[in-house]
Amino acid sequence: MMAIQYCDYPFDNHKVAFNDMKFALKNTKGSSFSFGAAVTLFSMIPIVNFIVMPVAICGATSMWVDKYREAYKHPTIAPE
């Protein structure tokens, strides 16, 4: 659930539908599960849980750039 929660930020920024995001995360189960498990684990540690949210968003954005950006690249509009 944490992988879905935090990966939703970069997917939404690139206007990728929720069902497409779930499909992409399902295709990379290993990295999605380990990311979500790490976020959940660090969320349980007192004091550390205050900084987990921004770090998780940065991690999800990094995962977007590394794994998903090429698959969901939208064509750019040529300048006139």
The string of pLDDT tens digits covering residues 8-24 is 888 888 888 899 889 98
- Report the pLDDT value the prediction gives residue 47, as an integer from 0 to 100: 93
What is the pLDDT of the chain when averaged over all its residues? 87
Listed by start position, the domains of the chain span 2-68
Closest CA to 21 of 74, 77, 75, 67: 67
36: which 2 tokens? 């979500």
- What's this model's pTM, rounded to 2 decimal places? 0.77
Spatial separation of the C-alpha atoms in residues 21 and 23, rounded to whole Å: 5
Spatial separation of the C-alpha atoms in residues 32 and 45, rounded to whole Å: 21
Whether 52 and 42 have beta carbons less than 8 Å apart is answered as yes
